[in-house]
């Protein structure tokens, strides 16, 4: 997919307004990337959550498209705003970007949206990604985020899409075991990935649920 600076389509403001804005002394895109918003000791979580939720409700479709058409910082930000705001019109767009995996760091944000939207179609998007990328054990993309999101959807929909990947000795185990230092690491267990996705989604629901 071609890259287009937002200035070229009349939306040059979206970088500073949404991706680089500093609600907490850090550029917004750095906070989801680092995961610091999930740390209980981080003092800016309430403000960060409030401002993110407000922007997710008010950003226009054209502004989101401008962010999605540029580089990883803006795409990561757009993914979060779409997921937090449950912008269903962007479901297929994010699914295409997730499968393409063109840029670093933004794919985990694309997984938040299907986890939040919560339909069978969203589960199919995540399943297609994992079917494509888990067999490629040399690629370390966004497989953990996708599996965590799929496990959350299975729990909510009463489905078992993730079983195909998580059965003992299956695709997930083989993907993890391809790097010896990850074998047996509890942080890579499916339950831990599901728990992380749950915390992200709770955070997206508002500060009161996040803590």
Q: What is the SS3 string spanning 42-75?
A: CCCHHHHHHHHHHHHHHCCHHHHHHHHCCCHHHH
Please answer whether residues 118 and 89 qualify as being in contact, where contact means their C-beta atoms are separated by less than 8 angstroms. no
Whether residue 13 is predicted with pLDDT greater than 50 in this model: the reply is yes
Please answer whether residues 183 and 175 qualify as being in contact, where contact means their C-beta atoms are separated by less than 8 angstroms. no
What does the pLDDT average to over 9-38?
Answer: 90
Please tell me the predicted confidence (pLDDT) of residue 38.
85
What does the pLDDT average to over 12-36?
Answer: 91
Confirm whether 1 is domain-assigned.
no
What's the CA dihedral at 154, 65, 104, 200 to 10 degrees?
-40
Whether residue 209 is predicted with pLDDT greater than 60 in this model: the reply is no
Please answer whether residues 207 and 161 qualify as being in contact, where contact means their C-beta atoms are separated by less than 8 angstroms. no
- Cα atoms in the Cβ-side hemisphere of radius 13 Å centred on 55: 23
What does the pLDDT average to over 59-83?
Answer: 97
Whether residue 155 is predicted with pLDDT greater than 80 in this model: the reply is yes
Q: How far apart are CA 80 and CA 53, in angstroms?
A: 10
Q: What is the percentage of the chain residues whose pLDDT exceeds 70?
A: 97
Q: Total structural domains in the chain? A: 1
Residue scoring higher pLDDT (42 or 61): 61
Confirm whether 81 is domain-assigned.
yes
Please answer whether residues 27 and 21 qualify as being in contact, where contact means their C-beta atoms are separated by less than 8 angstroms. yes
Whether residue 81 is predicted with pLDDT greater than 60 in this model: the reply is yes
Confirm whether 122 is domain-assigned.
yes
Q: Which of 62, 126, 127 is nearest to 89 (CA)?
A: 62
Whether residue 40 is predicted with pLDDT greater than 90 in this model: the reply is no
**Of all residues in the chain, what percent are helix, strand and coil, respectively (each to 5)?**
70, 0, 30
- pLDDT, averaged across the chain: 93
Q: What is the percentage of the chain residues whose pLDDT exceeds 90?
A: 80
Q: How far apart are CA 165 and CA 134, in angstroms?
A: 8
Confirm whether 175 is domain-assigned.
yes
Please answer whether residues 91 and 113 qualify as being in contact, where contact means their C-beta atoms are separated by less than 8 angstroms. yes
Whether residue 210 is predicted with pLDDT greater than 80 in this model: the reply is no
Give the domain range for residue 82.
6-205
Please tell me the predicted confidence (pLDDT) of residue 211.
36
Confirm whether 211 is domain-assigned.
no
Confidence at 26, pLDDT banded by 50, 70, 90: confident
Please tell me the predicted confidence (pLDDT) of residue 94.
97
What does the pLDDT average to over 64-71?
Answer: 97
Q: Which of 47, 87, 48 is nearest to 65 (CA)?
A: 87
What's the CA dihedral at 79, 82, 83, 86 to 10 degrees?
-170
Q: How far apart are CA 30 and CA 22, in angstroms?
A: 10
Dihedral sign for Cα 186, 189, 191, 193, please. Answer: positive
Please tell me the predicted confidence (pLDDT) of residue 1.
54
Q: How far apart are CA 50 and CA 47, in angstroms?
A: 5
Least confident of 47-51, 53-57, 71-75, 109-113: 47-51
Whether residue 43 is predicted with pLDDT greater than 50 in this model: the reply is yes
Please tell me the predicted confidence (pLDDT) of residue 39.
86
Q: How far apart are CA 163 and CA 17, in angstroms?
A: 41
């Amino acid at each position: 997919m071609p890259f287009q600076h937002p200035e070229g389509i009349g939306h040059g403001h979206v970088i500073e307004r949404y991706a680089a804005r500093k609600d907490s002394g850090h550029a917004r895109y750095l906070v989801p990337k680092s995961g610091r918003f999930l740390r209980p000791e981080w003092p800016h979580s309430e403000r960060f959550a409030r401002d993110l939720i407000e922007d997710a409700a008010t950003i226009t479709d054209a502004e989101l498209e401008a962010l999605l058409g540029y580089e990883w910082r803006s795409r990561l930000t757009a993914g979060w705003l779409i997921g937090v705001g449950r912008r269903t019109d962007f479901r297929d767009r994010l699914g295409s970007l997730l499968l393409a995996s063109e840029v670093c760091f933004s794919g985990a944000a694309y997984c938040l949206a299907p986890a939040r939207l919560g339909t069978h179609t969203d589960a199919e998007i995540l399943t297609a990604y994992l079917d494509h990328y888990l067999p490629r054990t040399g690629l370390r993309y966004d497989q953990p985020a996708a599996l965590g999101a799929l496990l959350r959807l299975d729990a909510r929909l009463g489905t078992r899409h993730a079983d195909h990947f998580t059965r003992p000795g299956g695709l997930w185990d083989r993907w993890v075991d391809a790097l010896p230092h990850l074998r047996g690491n509890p942080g890579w267990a499916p339950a831990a990935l599901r728990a992380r996705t749950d915390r992200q989604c709770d955070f997206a629901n508002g500060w009161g649920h996040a803590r």
